[in-house]
Amino acid sequence: MRNILLPVLFFFLWLSEVSSQEIVGYWKTIDEVTEQPKSILEIYKEDEGLSARVVEILVEGREDALCIKCDGPQKNRPIKGMRIFSGLKKVDEDTYGDGEILDPETGKKYRVRIWLDSERPERLKVRGYIAFFFRTQTWKRVSP
């Protein structure tokens, strides 16, 4: 029995690692109104789960923008380099969540879930929500 359980356990551990590796990488955010690129984010794995930080701001004139509407230690800090979420855990086979995402333009935080688009794996779905209200963005994978 032990000879069967050990390979099965390793298989499931490997699957969880492969899933997070697909999400890990660089992603371009798109403005929902103008449909223009806004920023490049890096999603990376840390001990406590998946995290994301702003690598580059693509909006002309906003490259050095500060998070003036943020609270706490992020207030008036550069958005570039800022962590916008951390500690996202796997909540089901394809989805990470149980965390918050920061919108640096408004300073607001929302509960968040992320998953790869099953039909277009080069796209990441990012859903921020409060109670029953939610908004889903689509981020596009880019090379570093």
pLDDT tens digits for 59-104? 999 999 999 999 999 999 999 999 999 999 999 999 999 999 999 9
Element (H, E) at 115: strand 108-116
Tell me the C-alpha distance between 128 and 62, whole Å: 23
Q: Taking the model in full, what pTM does it have?
A: 0.83
Strand 108-116 and strand 95-103: the pairing is antiparallel
**CATH 2.40.128.520, domain 2-142, yes or no:** yes
The closest of 101, 96, 130, 129 to 113, measured between CA atoms, is: 96
User: So what's the pLDDT on residue 48?
Assistant: 85
Phi, psi of 103 (to 5 degrees): -95, 105
Strand, helix or coil for residue 15: helix
Percent of the chain scored above 70 by pLDDT?
A: 85
pLDDT above 80: residue 109: yes
